[in-house]
Structure 1
């Protein structure tokens, strides 16, 4: 069995961790699947060295599951192959204590490989790694950071969540208490906010600002930028897990569902990205920075329709694309404008960047960043100017619309040679197969509105 390059120097990491955590009882090995759903195993703490020495056997077919964890036979990854195991190797820098667990627990992210040590290229983390390599071949690297929005709900006694959830601070008396940027909401949740911050510190997740967002019980957490896109995406994956775990400890449910309510804003995943060469941020160059930033914007705009499924990958996510909701609905950009798809924030020259605002908070961060980097590469290589920036309310302009329909997004992605190149032939097929099956499943359901209307 071959060991992947870069996984050899693990002993010092494990020795140091065990010295600091001699009471370790449980090890959680965590593998994000194609949807970004976390799969894996719970192992005894004594298995830690073995995990790093030998890897963890898990079936390749985990990457052929739909969002409900069901096998999608069309992917060709299941029983017709014998349902073979791959070897998942731990990502050493993600070995951390789980501060919200009741017993002494550690977690570590995994990535899937073939037995000869070559990467399994349906694993989205490997696909993002290839995008990083394309940039490196151009003499560039990406600096990126995620912002994540989520709701906090009062826990439902039956645990079914079939009825409408009740967010914190909601009331049936008078208008909705949006309380945007309200310090009082954060203060009311001080024990939970403190536990999230301490948990992020313990897991080396570079959490930054926390704000109360535009609906009752809605919040946003920002992450510091990273100079490695894999680390930035790992941060987003682990932050979602941290928030959910801490909320559960406080008898609350944290939800990153893209659109839980018709009447209130959805949850977004915003990505900030800049490009670096040997001399620094290329967007900050006094002579060429604005031009090259424009080229990157043009590439992102031109690939946006084809890459839409990478950014909005759930049936519910397309409900978020509503005018006036702070979710972009058209293919446009602007300066310091939160109604556009691509925002250039007001910033110091050295912090010049692009904010990509399309993704839902429930999307797979590895695939979101893969799509963003593919668009930037496209733009920098073609070196074409973008259209004029939108001023004012983009919802009232006539720019080409982003589709609010999942079937159209699937078809655009499926037909795209650029997306096939960006994510690879294998993942391209698997993602299309999974999303078509999920769309079909939702189409089979009869809604309560239909029954109320037609019975």
Structure 2
């Protein structure tokens, strides 16, 4: 699923680097129709700031216009909170006239929707901002608040150093009953005789939902998503699907966001729901999004695996990830619930640490031959935005590589019992660190830093504005 991204064009550079609005190639849609027939609808999918998919249904008979004309969606869609409400503090809404952006299809993401009750196709979109060029022609440039363009920028910076990321995502999730329990909390499915217990890596738990899980695998095959291992995880009804590595970092992030949609769609077809909530059950493990990253050199070889030079590069990259981790934690743990997952002994990290073959640290170097040497980032919750997670990781790596930073000694054994610096314990502190970060401003832009922070402040205020049921039980 290859994807191409246009380089950002600054306003001051438009005279010498114009971006002219041009129709996308319609051959992709024509090839789809020849292969699959005309779908009833084409679902156009635009991931917002939180990774929530927003968009439209377009009649299949008019689907070609997506490629020739684009899809108009307000630029302010990147100023909505996680519930889809306007966050006025962003300054993106009525005060701007609520202008439309122009969304273009992401090449390689047009696929059938196997779980749809009617023939359907889907395609990812990316947002551009219409502009007027100095010579009066119309044009467009990547919209600075679209997370895809934040990731594209980090990939470009690595390319300037002769490096390109090779990436694989792992996604954990729960299968839940569609209706909540008596107390309003979600109810997971219990594969083995209705028992709520840990049964890690149990084949019986895979067998219990084999029909659904095989349908997930088949839907991934149809959609071209490189699904690999499926395992039963550490809690009842919790599973993990791993994706093969990609030498196209943007495609790897696209895979992750589309895999979430696929799993949810197949689960609904089976009368269940898939939850990627970071910590849905207090008594059991949370769901993470682990990201494996290596860096390839110009020859296509793993730069981390090249003897002492490769080991030094790996250390610099790890050091950069650690040095920027507190400031970018809001990318990895973007919601109020996610901080419940980061608890000692849970295999979710609590400290800013790294180590070799150690699952209690934040950045792990897995075992393997030199050609497979990589860094595994273990902080992100399964509900995080894959493009922002990867952008934060690569931005951190670049910081370490460009400044030749050295990490502390790798941790051996239980990282929870060490004195490693701690990650933010709550959303409020994560927001403050993010908003004050010089690194975030340099790597992702001061305006993006401002908008993302005020959106998360509004989200936090919404949670703080609710009274916990336990307060009523205790004090009423």
Quickly name the TM-score band, shorter chain normalised. Answer: over 0.9
Quick check: 1:27–1:48 contact (8 Å CA) kept in 2?
Answer: yes
Q: Which moved more, 1:294-303 or 1:161-170?
A: 161-170
Cα offset, 1:331, TM superposition: 0.5
Equivalent position of 1:75 in the other structure: 90
| 1:152 matched to 2:175 | yes
Cα offset, 1:317, TM superposition: 0.6
Cα offset, 1:11, TM superposition: 2.6
Q: Over residues 277-302 of structure 1, what are the superposed CA-to-partner deviations in whole Å (9 max), with x where a residue is unaligned?
A: 11311100023111110111111110
Quick check: 2:181–2:187 contact (8 Å CA) kept in 1?
Answer: no
Taking the aligned partners of 2:322 and 2:403, their CA distance within structure 1 comes to 13
Equivalent position of 2:449 in the other structure: 428
Equivalent position of 1:345 in the other structure: 366
Cα offset, 1:5, TM superposition: 7.6
Quick check: 2:276–2:383 contact (8 Å CA) kept in 1?
Answer: yes
Match of 1:85 among 82, 91, 100: 100
Match of 1:133 among 136, 156, 166: 156
| 1:270 matched to 2:290 | yes
Quick check: 1:317–1:360 contact (8 Å CA) kept in 2?
Answer: yes
Taking the aligned partners of 1:6 and 1:138, their CA distance within structure 2 comes to 30
Q: Which moved more, 1:287-296 or 1:357-366?
A: 287-296
Matches within 5 A, 1:272-311: 272-279=292-299, 280-311=301-332
Equivalent position of 2:135 in the other structure: none
Q: Which moved more, 1:311-320 or 1:160-169?
A: 160-169
Quick check: 2:327–2:440 contact (8 Å CA) kept in 1?
Answer: yes
Taking the aligned partners of 1:43 and 1:199, their CA distance within structure 2 comes to 22
Taking the aligned partners of 2:18 and 2:148, their CA distance within structure 1 comes to 17
**Unmatched segments (≥5 aa) in structure 2:** 1-16, 131-138
Equivalent position of 1:39 in the other structure: 54
Equivalent position of 1:318 in the other structure: 339
Equivalent position of 2:228 in the other structure: 208
TM-score, with structure 1 as normaliser? 0.96
TM-score, with structure 2 as normaliser? 0.92
Cα offset, 1:423, TM superposition: 1.8
Taking the aligned partners of 1:200 and 1:89, their CA distance within structure 2 comes to 23
Task: Provide the alpha-carbon RMSD of the alignment.
Answer: 1.8
Equivalent position of 2:78 in the other structure: 63
Quick check: 1:300–1:376 contact (8 Å CA) kept in 2?
Answer: yes
| 1:418 matched to 2:439 | yes
Equivalent position of 2:111 in the other structure: 96
2:259 partner SS: helix
Taking the aligned partners of 2:115 and 2:105, their CA distance within structure 1 comes to 21
Taking the aligned partners of 2:183 and 2:384, their CA distance within structure 1 comes to 22
Quick check: 1:340–1:394 contact (8 Å CA) kept in 2?
Answer: yes
Quick check: 1:370–1:422 contact (8 Å CA) kept in 2?
Answer: no
Poorly superposed stretches of 4+, deviation over 4 Å: 2-9, 159-162, 170-174
Quick check: 1:170–1:177 contact (8 Å CA) kept in 2?
Answer: no
Q: Aligned pair count?
A: 451
Question: Given the superposition, is the C-alpha separation of residues 222 and 50 from structure 1 closer, same or farther in structure 2, using an over 3 Å criterion?
Answer: same
**Unmatched segments (≥5 aa) in structure 1:** none
Quick check: 1:359–1:368 contact (8 Å CA) kept in 2?
Answer: yes
Q: Which moved more, 1:385-394 or 1:8-17?
A: 8-17
Quick check: 2:38–2:61 contact (8 Å CA) kept in 1?
Answer: no
Q: Over residues 185-226 of structure 1, what are the superposed CA-to-partner deviations in whole Å (9 max), with x where a residue is unaligned?
A: 111111111110111011111110000000000001101111
